[in-house]
Each structure stands twice: as C-alpha cells, then as structure tokens.
Structure 1
Amino acid sequence: MTATSYILGIAAALLTLAVVIEMLRRRRLRERHATWWLIAGTLALIVGVFPKTLEWAADVAGVAIPINLVFFVSVVILFLVCIQHSSELTKLDDQTRTLAEQTALLELRIRELEQNTQSSIEADDQ
C-alpha cells in the first residue's frame, strides 16, 4: 500500500471518530448506539496507524488476503448494528402499542364519564 492510502485510511478513521463523538456531545446520538461505531473507528485507526496489525490479524484468523478480513469485520459490525436497532425497534413497537391501548381505554372512560355527567345534569333539570 502507498503512503497516500495509509493517510487516507487514518483520516477516514479520525473523521468517523470525530463525527461520532460530536454527535454524542450534541446528544444527537446515544452511547448505546455509538458503541459499534466507536469500535469500528478505533479498529480502523489502529489498522491505519499500524498496518502490520491487519496482516497479523489475517494470519491469526487464517485469511489469505488481509482486505477480506476488513470486509468481514465490517459486515459483522453492520450486522450487530442492525440487530441492536431491530431489538430497540421491537421494544419501541411494544411501548407504542401499550400506550395506544392505554389511550383508547382512557378515552372510553372519559366518554362514559361525560355521558354520566350529561345524564345527571338532564335528570337534575327535570
């Protein structure tokens, strides 16, 4: 690899980390959502600064071409992000359904109380 590609890799990793940290700071991203992105950015920074670590990790994992390990780890991280979002979406869906049911019951109770109040007022008028 050329020096330009190393510099580009380091810059991309630093940019990723800076964006995630800034989003955390501005409360546009929660910590539990940022975890996998911070891990990915940190791994990318380590590989960018110490490129031999990628070759070492590929040898340890038994991967012939180190870039294939990068793609595999990237897919795994994105898969974990998808699982995390699916889990939270399911939780939010359950909460939304519960709130909708509670709202419907409260509206029904309000209507019944209004009808009872109206009936009482009409009975008093007669």
Structure 2
Amino acid sequence: MTLRAYIFGIVAALFVLIVVVSLLRHRRLRERHAAWWLAAGVLALLAGIFPESLTWAARVTGIELPVNLVFFVSITILFLVSLQHSAELTRLEAKTRDLAETVALLELRLRELGEAPRPPSEEEGPDRHGDAHDEG
C-alpha cells in the first residue's frame, strides 16, 4: 500500500466519523440512526490504520481478496441501515394513520355537537395549518 493510499484511508474514515458526530451534536441525526454509521466509520478507521488487519480478517473468513470483504461489510451495513429505516417508516405510517383517524373522529364529534370548525379557505394555504413539508 502506498503512503498516499494509507493516508487517504485514514482521512476518509476520520471524515465520516467527524460528520456523524457533528450531525449528532447539532441534533440532525439521532443516536439510534447514527449507530451503524459510527460502526462503519470505526471499522474503516481501524482498517485504515492497520491495513494488515483487513488481510487477516479476509483470510479468517475465507475471502480471497480483502477488498471483497470491504464490499461485503459495506453492503451489510447499508442493508442494516435500510432495514432500520424501513422499520421506522412502518412505525411512523401506523402512527400517522392513528392520528388521522383520531382527528376524523374528533371532527365528527364536533359536527355532532354543532361546533364544526370552519374549513380552511384556499387563500390561507397549507402553511397556515402546518401542512408544509419544510422539516428535513
């Protein structure tokens, strides 16, 4: 391995870790979502600092080329992140459905009591009622 590749591997891994920690500190990423990215960053840093550990791990697992182990671990981590996000999406969809049903029942109850809220006019737009999707 050339000195340039060695330094690039370490810098890239440190960059990933710094970005994840920064997102955590600014509350733009939650801990449970950062766990896999932190694991990937630490593994990349270890492989960057100790490149022979990658060769050793490939030999132990029966993989001929260390780069194939890197691809396998990367794909596995991305799969787990995707699976975690799918589970979170399913949970949020169920929560949204429950909230929509609750609102519908409350609106029905208000109509029954003769206190139905005035529907929003088209001039007010969605921003007035919090329907805008500006959260990131």
Give the TM-score taking structure 1 as reference length: 0.90
Map 1:1-126; keep pairs closer than 5 Å. 1-114=1-114
Deviation at 1:29, TM superposition (A): 0.2
Rounded Cα–Cα distance in structure 2 between residues aligned with 1:68 and 1:13: 18
Rounded Cα–Cα distance in structure 2 between residues aligned with 1:111 and 1:5: 69
Rounded Cα–Cα distance in structure 2 between residues aligned with 1:106 and 1:77: 43
State the AA in 1 paired with 2:100: A
Rounded Cα–Cα distance in structure 1 between residues aligned with 2:48 and 2:40: 12
RMSD across aligned positions (CA): 0.7
Give the TM-score taking structure 2 as reference length: 0.83
Rounded Cα–Cα distance in structure 1 between residues aligned with 2:6 and 2:101: 56
Q: Figure out how many residues of one structure are paired with residues of the other and give that number.
A: 115
Deviation at 1:113, TM superposition (A): 0.5
Deviations 1:32-64 (A, max 9, x none): 000000000000000000001000000000000
Structure with higher RCO (Cα < 8 A, 6+ apart): 1
Deviation at 1:4, TM superposition (A): 0.5
State the AA in 1 paired with 2:25: R
Q: Which segments of 5 or more consecutive residues in structure 1 lack a partner in the other structure?
A: 116-126
Deviations 1:78-102 (A, max 9, x none): 0000000000000000000000000
What does residue 126 of structure 2 align with? none
Say which structure is richer in helix.
Answer: 1
Rounded Cα–Cα distance in structure 2 between residues aligned with 1:78 and 1:32: 15
Rounded Cα–Cα distance in structure 2 between residues aligned with 1:110 and 1:53: 67
Q: Which runs of 4+ in 1 moved over 4 A?
A: none
Q: Which segments of 5 or more consecutive residues in structure 2 lack a partner in the other structure?
A: 116-136
Rounded Cα–Cα distance in structure 2 between residues aligned with 1:73 and 1:98: 38
